[in-house]
Copies of this chain bind each other. A is one copy, B any other.
Amino acid sequence: MILALAGGVGGAKLASGLAALLPADELLVVVNTGDDFEHLGLRISPDLDTVMYWLAGRNDAERGWGLAGETWNFMDSLQTLGAPTWFRLGDRDLATHVERTRLLAAGEPLSAVTGYLCQRLGVTHRISPMTDGRVRTVIHTPDGQLEFQHYFVRLACRPPAIGIGFDGAAEAVPCPDFEAALSRPDLDAIVICPSNPILSIQPILELRGVRDRIRAHRAPVIAVSPIIAGHAVKGPAAKLLQELRHESSALEICRYYGDVVDGFVIDDSDRGLTDAIEACGARVCVAPILMKDSADRRRLAETVIGFAAATAASAGKR
């Protein structure tokens, strides 16, 4: 079984590649919920929805997030009413938020709600929020703290970031499926998807005990770089890394993950970084990692699985 850690679109793409290869009971995708927030009285889980919609085959491929065939009449009317419209909620997508909010209010934990929504959307592989607890990513700026979606969407990442926090992470425990997967000695791999390492993966690693348990796990931990030739494939990774005084490079991502990662998958165009990454103590796999279509996603998933097996078979994890 493979445990995949994912955030937004990059993570969703690799997760859908893994899902195309693996039987339903051999994959668990654990998703960042540090980006979750309450908006218009609704509980919004952007990363969970992105992964869920991709695995359901209902995602809007062009926009990356949200549902295919979406309409925007709710937003249009919301604007007429003078309500906040900076966070775009499609008419179809809105049903997910309303139903999630309703089930949470009825006392269901987020993991159970996610399982139920997945089942209704025809997702056969398991998707879990990283925790049923409350973790909220906050961005520190010179003008004070910003809730993540206010920084990310409302202000379009314009404020300079001088720090980042994950409120509640130290007290939050992994959700039941994540906990069970971490406890399985027979995991074939822990895959860190090509998601933003700071915004999407770090919140997961910061949960109580998680970083240490992943570091100590027998399974090889394989990360796929979200940076190709110095550029983030999507999203604010590069800007944020620079502001937080990291280089925007695959090597820097490897340094960022440190000894959590056993093997690192980088793009062909970053081949020149191989020696430097190996010097950090990680094995390197060079492959085309840009996922433009389902064939790319499946091929990268195959690469990751093969690389994990090779890493496990090598002289030992580290």
Residues in B whose Cβ lies below 8 Å from that of A117 = 81
Contact of A82 with B by CB under 8 A: yes
Contact of A33 with B by CB under 8 A: no
In the complex the two chains form, what is the Cα distance from A3 to B43 in whole Å?
41
Residues in B whose Cβ lies below 8 Å from that of A102 = 40-41, 83
Residues in B whose Cβ lies below 8 Å from that of A95 = 74-78, 80-81, 83
Contacts A80-B121, A82-B120, A96-B77 given: A101-B71 contact, CB under 8 Å?
A: no
Contact of A24 with B by CB under 8 A: no
Contact of A186 with B by CB under 8 A: no
Contact-size category for A: 20 to 34
Residues in B whose Cβ lies below 8 Å from that of A105 = 41
Residues in B whose Cβ lies below 8 Å from that of A74 = 74, 91-92, 94-95, 98
A98 touches B78 (CB 8 A): yes
Q: How far is the CB of A82 from chain B (nearest CB, A)?
A: 5
Interface residues of A in 92-109 (CB under 8 A from B): 92-96, 98-99, 101-102, 105
Contact partner, A77, options B73, B80, B83, B92, Cβ 8 Å: B92
In the complex the two chains form, what is the Cα distance from A185 to B105 in whole Å?
48
In the complex the two chains form, what is the Cα distance from A40 to B104 in whole Å?
11
Q: How far is the CB of A78 from chain B (nearest CB, A)?
A: 4
Contact partner, A91, options B40, B71, B99, B101, Cβ 8 Å: B71
Residues in B whose Cβ lies below 8 Å from that of A77 = 67, 91-96
In the complex the two chains form, what is the Cα distance from A121 to B82 in whole Å?
10
In the complex the two chains form, what is the Cα distance from A213 to B153 in whole Å?
53
Residues in B whose Cβ lies below 8 Å from that of A121 = 80-81
Contacts A41-B98, A98-B78, A105-B41 given: A91-B120 contact, CB under 8 Å?
A: no
Q: Of A75, A76, A102, A121, which is in contact with the most chain B CB atoms at under 10 Å from its CB?
A: A102
A76 touches B92 (CB 8 A): yes
In the complex the two chains form, what is the Cα distance from A75 to B91 in whole Å?
9
Residues in B whose Cβ lies below 8 Å from that of A67 = 77
Residue pairs across A and B with Cβ atoms less than 8 A apart, 18 shown, are A40-B98, A40-B99, A41-B41, A41-B42, A67-B77, A70-B73, A71-B91, A74-B74, A74-B91, A76-B92, A77-B92, A80-B121, A81-B95, A81-B117, A81-B121, A83-B99, A83-B102, A91-B91
